[in-house]
Amino acid sequence: MKITDLRKKTDAEKTRVVATVSWENCDRPTRDIYFEVPARFSEGLSADSHAFLIAALLPAMRNGEERIALEAKICPELREGLLAVMSIIRGWYTPTGHPLVRLETERGARLPAPHTSTRAGVFLSGGVDSLALLRSNRRDYPLAHPHSFKDGLLVHGFDIGAFEEDPESALFEQAHQTLAPVARAAGITLIPVETNIRHLDSDINFWMYEFHGAALAAVAHAFSNRLTSASIASSVPYYALHPWGSHPLVDPRYSSSDIRICHENARFSRLEKVQLIANWDVALQNLRVCAWNPPGRLNCGQCDKCLRTMIELLAVGKLAQTRAFPLTDISEQLLKSTKIIHRRYDTKYYQALIAPLKAQGRADLATVIENKLAKYERYLAWEEERDWKGWIKRFDRRYLGSHLFKSYQTVRQRIKGVGREC
C-alpha cells in the first residue's frame, strides 16, 4: 500500500485534508481518503501523515498488504505502538495469519511540533459511554486542569454514514443539533468531522472487532495542531474485557509525541455510567444509542441497544423522565419476546440489572432476565460441551472415531426422508 499526495483544501464552507491510498497486493481500488471540518475549524485540522498511516494500518494488514509506503518521517513512539497493535490484533484473531505490515517511511524520526498550551478533546457520539465520560471529566477535573475537556469531536462516517451509498446527512445534522445543548452545558466546543476512512474496509465485523479504535485515533491525529490529547470512552469495563476494536491495551498505542490517545472510564460498569447520565438532565434528554438510526428520532426503542438502555434507565428510576425514547415503560411481555443476550459478555450486563430492577419494584422483569440468563448458560454448556452431551461427544471423537455422531446424522436424514414421503 502507498499513501501519497497529502494535501489540504479550503473553501468558504469546508476544509478538507486528503491523501491517496493505493493498494499493491490486493484487488481494491485506489481512492482518496479524507477528514473534513467546517471552515471555522480549519486552523486545527492538518494533513498529518500520522492520521493517514493509522487509518490505513489495519485495513492493510487484514487485506494482506506487505507494506505501507509513506514519504514522511513518523514519530518513533507511534511506530513502536503500531507494531505492538498489529501483534495484539494478530494474536487475538489470526495467530498464524499474515506477517506484520512493513512500515516504509522516510529515514529519521519526526520530532514533536511545538505546543504553547495543552488542550484535551473527547469523542462524542451521544451514547452512554461518551456522555458518561464527559460527565465524569467535568466532575473530576477542574476546568484549569490540562485534562479537562475543551473540545468534543462528533464524527460523520462511522455509525452515521457507515454506508457509502447513504451518507445520512440529515441524521448527522440531527445528531449535531442534539449534542449542541450538551456541549454548551459542559462548556466544550463541539466539532463536527466528516471522514470516509471506514470505507477502506467497511466489513462490519472488522469495524467492530478490530478497526474502530484506530479510526477514532486517526481522526484525533488529524487535529494534532489543536489537541494534545484525545479521549475514547470505554465500551467494556475492565472486569468484562475481551478482544474488541477499542480496548485499553490497544488505543493508547496510537499515541505519538504530538498527541496522547486515552482510553477512559473502563473502571465504571455500564450501570454506573447510566447513573452518571441519569443525574444530568441535558444528557438524559439527548441520549442517542440506537443501532438503527431512525430518521426524525433519536432512538427507535426496538433494537438491542435501545432496549438494553431503556431497561438500565428503568433500573435507576429514570426511563419515564426522558424524551429520548418512544417508551416510558417496558412490559414483561416485550422483554420475554425479545432476544437480549447474544454474547457471553452480555450476561454480565444483564446480571447487574437484576437487583436494581427488584429494588424498583420490577421483579417481573428481573425474573425474565434470570430465565434468559439460565437459558443462555444451558446453551453455552452445550456449545462448549460442558454438559453430559458434551462428555459423550468428546468420548465419541476420541475413542470411537465419531461413529456415534455419524450414525445419529444418518438416522436423522432417514427420519426426514420418511417425513417427506408421508
Give how far Cα 248 sits from Cα of 189, 216, 262, 416, Å. 26, 14, 8, 51
CA 315, 317, 318, 320 torsion-angle sign: positive
Residue reference for cell 513502536: 80
What is the spatial distance between Cα 187 and Cα 224, in angstroms, rounded to a whole number?
Answer: 21
Q: What is the pLDDT of residues 75-92, one digit of tens each?
A: 999 999 999 999 999 999
- What pLDDT does 418 receive? 55
Residues of the chain with pLDDT under 70: 416-422
Give, in degrees to the nearest 5, the angle at Cα 45 between 42 and 51.
160
H helices within 119-241, ranges in order?
A: 128-140, 169-186, 204-206, 212-222
Q: All 3 cell numbers of residue 328? A: 416510558
- What pLDDT does 294 receive? 84
- What pLDDT does 422 receive? 42
Q: Quick check: helix, strand or coil at residue 255?
A: coil
CA 162, 230, 232, 309 torsion-angle sign: negative
Asked whether the beta carbons of 132 and 233 are under 8 A apart, the reply is: yes
What is the spatial distance between Cα 89 and Cα 266, in angstroms, rounded to a whole number?
Answer: 20
Q: Which of 220, 225, 155, 161 is nearest to 193 (CA)?
A: 155
Any idea what DSSP says for residue 292?
Answer: S
H helices within 187-315, ranges in order?
A: 204-206, 212-222, 270-278, 281-285, 304-315
Q: All 3 cell numbers of residue 28? A: 481494491
- What pLDDT does 36 receive? 98
- What pLDDT does 388 receive? 79
Q: What is the pLDDT of residues 152-185, one digit of tens each?
A: 999 999 999 998 888 999 999 999 999 999 999 9
- Distance linking the first and last C-alpha atoms of the chain: 60
- What pLDDT does 23 receive? 98
- Write down the domain spans for the chain: 2-264, 289-383, 391-421
The widest CA-to-CA distance across the chain, in whole angstroms, is: 83
User: Radius of gyration over alpha carbons of the chain, in Å?
Assistant: 24
Query: How many other C-beta atoms can be found within 10 angstroms of the C-beta atom of residue 193?
Result: 21
